[in-house]
Amino acid sequence: MSQIRRRTAIRASKTIPETGNTVDEAIEPGRTVITKTARSWMSVLACTLIAGASIGCFATARAVAPASGAASVPEPAGPSSESAGATGPEVASEVARPVLPGEPEDAAAAILALPAAAVTSRTLRSLETALAQLGRGELKALEESAGRLGGDARLGLVYAELAYVHILSGEPDEARRYASMARTAGVDGRAQEVAGAILGGRLVELMPADLVIGAVLPVSGSPSNREYTRLFLEGVEVAAELARRGGWRIEFLIEDSRGTTSGSERGVSSLVSRGAVAILGPLDAVNLESAVRAAPGSVAFLSPTARRVPFGRRGVFSMGAGDPGAGRALARTVRSAGYREAAIVHPRSPGERLEADAFQDAFQDAGGVVRRRMQYDPGTTTFDVELKEVEAVVPEVLVVAAPPADVELLAPQIAFFGLDTLEIQVAGTAAWTTLPVLEAVARRHTDSVIAVSASDPLAVFDPAAAFVQAYEQHFRRTLVSPVPAAGFDLFRMALTSYGNGVRTSRGTVASLERLDEFRGATGTYSDVNGRIEREFYPVRILEGRPHPFDAALIPPADTAGIHHGGERARSR
């Protein structure tokens, strides 16, 4: 970002340049950062097509007497007022029995199941309207089930909508691939416009315009908060630059919370008055609660570090509020390896407690037993009390659900207090597979540990590596901190939620709650039972790197993963 001059009374506006220079001073609160493109008419067209739409989906069954009514989308409120027979000769000759799906996905599936001879232009319009209500995962499921259609125009509509979803998610390569397939399948109308705009490089035609995203962060707080904010905003800057190139028109506003509740409330009020639909921050749970109270329910909040989110408020997400998916994935992995007894060590903090709860529930549901659960106060540096309890119990598995800083201290102490001589398998949540832990902890303390990772070790494309490349190209320096990745992901998450909110007419908050397979530098995020969670992959750490987990693999001697007890261990 270009050098920013300090101002006391006047708020500056800057256009994010195509290349970034290092900013060593604090970013001025109230500053506006704008990325400019031409105004989008396709987004208006999409809203017009989607808003208030209702569709009728029909299946051919000529031997059955016709019934009247069609399902309303998105609300499954029953038949619409328009009967099948009232739609004219084309529909009357086509329809014998209406299907009354309760959701857009059901409606789209019903149309895709029709024989080609029963498909008319009206049917295609209904399919297009239904597809515009769906997320990435739902569209991918329809793509798989509709593969039999070959070059059918219906499949082309699915491809076009997937292209739209991918371009909103900041994945231009996938968007162009689907747009090309849509054009090959033969589409017209809105789908043709989508495919043409993506393939022709006219992405601005598809981007929702006049988007305002804000940030409420401690720009002038404590030294540690100022440094975190600086690094976080570097990631935001990279994301904003990529969005500008992709055709988004974005105004990004920064308000200084000063690390206080009153500052957070003032900042939010200012951003809301200027039209912000999503706010990044605040950093801690107390300020986040105050900020949320100052905003209407239509504004989404995305915090990188808050340890908890306000209960009952929709559209609030924090990366720091814990990953129950990590606990569940670890429990499945440990149980699949044949271990039946476990002990858990974790701090008395909301995020790690959530992970430990998830592990215990999933492990017990799979037939396992948690022999002991030991909690310690955050900030603890010596874990003799907890590890001596483990020594007394001698479980088959010791599960450590702790943040990276604690793992760096705790992992060597497992060997120091002699637990490595008891043949106890060590397992841990995602902190064990983070780069700081793998670099700071000696390999003999991490090798053979069973863990989970937010990155798929078998994936061909690595979003984290792609972000590192984008960051280093933008700033022309090496990325040395994990913090910018959080800013990068949350800014893109806000963009995606807003874009899909316009595409589906649901709004930003509802689209955030329906987040589906959002692939970011910090992981892949989806809504799971009303909570945004990361996807986790089972791994075993070997030679300082996570490898895909193989339950049959025998760990090498003199590591943290010597087996004790359990079905598999006894067989060895």
Q: Enter the tokens of residue 460.
A: 């061909």
Q: Tell me the Cα Rg of the chain.
A: 26
Beta strand extents in 288-389 (DSSP E only): 300-303, 316-318, 341-347, 369-376
Looking up tokens 């007890």 gives: 565
Of the pLDDT bands very low, low, confident and very high (cuts 50, 70, 90), residue 558 is low
Cα separation, 14 vs 119, in Å, equals: 51
pLDDT at residue 533 greater than cutoff 60 = yes
pLDDT > 70 in the chain, percent: 78
Question: What does the angle CA 37 – CA 42 – CA 45 come to, to the nearest 5 degrees?
Answer: 145
Q: Which of 472-486, 499-513, 556-570 has the highest mean pLDDT?
A: 472-486
pLDDT at residue 411 greater than cutoff 90 = yes
Of the pLDDT bands very low, low, confident and very high (cuts 50, 70, 90), residue 291 is very high
Beta strand extents in 192-298 (DSSP E only): 211-217, 250-256, 278-280
Q: Tell me the average pLDDT across 94-123.
A: 74
How confident is the model at residue 144, as a pLDDT? 85
Of the pLDDT bands very low, low, confident and very high (cuts 50, 70, 90), residue 388 is very high
pLDDT > 90 in the chain, percent: 56
Cα dist. 308→288, 299, 303, 304, 352 in Å? Answer: 9, 18, 10, 11, 11
Cα separation, 523 vs 534, in Å, equals: 6
What is the sign of the dihedral through the CA atoms of 505, 506, 509 and 514?
negative
Q: Enter the tokens of residue 301.
A: 């909040």
Cα separation, 214 vs 277, in Å, equals: 8
How confident is the model at residue 98, as a pLDDT? 39
pLDDT at residue 212 greater than cutoff 50 = yes
Of the pLDDT bands very low, low, confident and very high (cuts 50, 70, 90), residue 244 is confident
Q: Enter the tokens of residue 525.
A: 């995020």
How confident is the model at residue 22, as a pLDDT? 37
58 phi/psi in degrees, rounded to 5 = -130, 145
User: What is the torsion angle, in degrees rounded to the nearest 10, for the CA atoms of residue 523, residue 527, residue 529 and residue 531?
Assistant: 70
Tell me the residue type at 46: A
When the pLDDT of each residue in the chain is averaged and rounded to a whole number, the result is 80
How confident is the model at residue 524, as a pLDDT? 94
How confident is the model at residue 554, as a pLDDT? 56
Q: Which residues pair with 253 in a beta bridge?
A: 32, 214
pLDDT at residue 340 greater than cutoff 90 = yes
pLDDT at residue 50 greater than cutoff 50 = no
Residue 192's CB: how many other CB atoms inside 10 A?
15
pLDDT at residue 71 greater than cutoff 80 = no
Q: Which of 40-44, 218-222, 388-392, 533-537 has the lowest mean pLDDT?
A: 40-44
How confident is the model at residue 249, as a pLDDT? 85
Of the pLDDT bands very low, low, confident and very high (cuts 50, 70, 90), residue 420 is confident
How confident is the model at residue 441, as a pLDDT? 95
pLDDT at residue 19 greater than cutoff 50 = no
How confident is the model at residue 136, as a pLDDT? 86
Cα separation, 451 vs 181, in Å, equals: 39
Cα separation, 400 vs 396, in Å, equals: 13
pLDDT at residue 254 greater than cutoff 60 = yes
- Tell me the HSE value of 479 on the side-chain side, using a 13 A CA sphere: 24
Q: Which of 171-180, 355-364, 468-477 has the lowest mean pLDDT?
A: 171-180
CB of 112 closer than 8 Å to CB of 146: yes
Residue 64's CB: how many other CB atoms inside 10 A?
10
Residue 258's nearest CA partner among 233, 222, 284, 224 is 222
More confident residue, 47 or 267: 267
Is the preceding omega at residue 304 within 30 degrees of 0, hence cis? Answer: no
Q: Tell me the average pLDDT across 210-217.
A: 93
User: What is the torsion angle, in degrees rounded to the nearest 10, for the CA atoms of residue 275, residue 492, residue 505 and residue 281?
Assistant: -50
pLDDT at residue 39 greater than cutoff 70 = no
50 phi/psi in degrees, rounded to 5 = -85, -45
Cα separation, 318 vs 305, in Å, equals: 6
Cα separation, 356 vs 364, in Å, equals: 12
Q: Tell me the average pLDDT across 524-532.
A: 89
How confident is the model at residue 46, as a pLDDT? 37
Cα separation, 258 vs 319, in Å, equals: 21
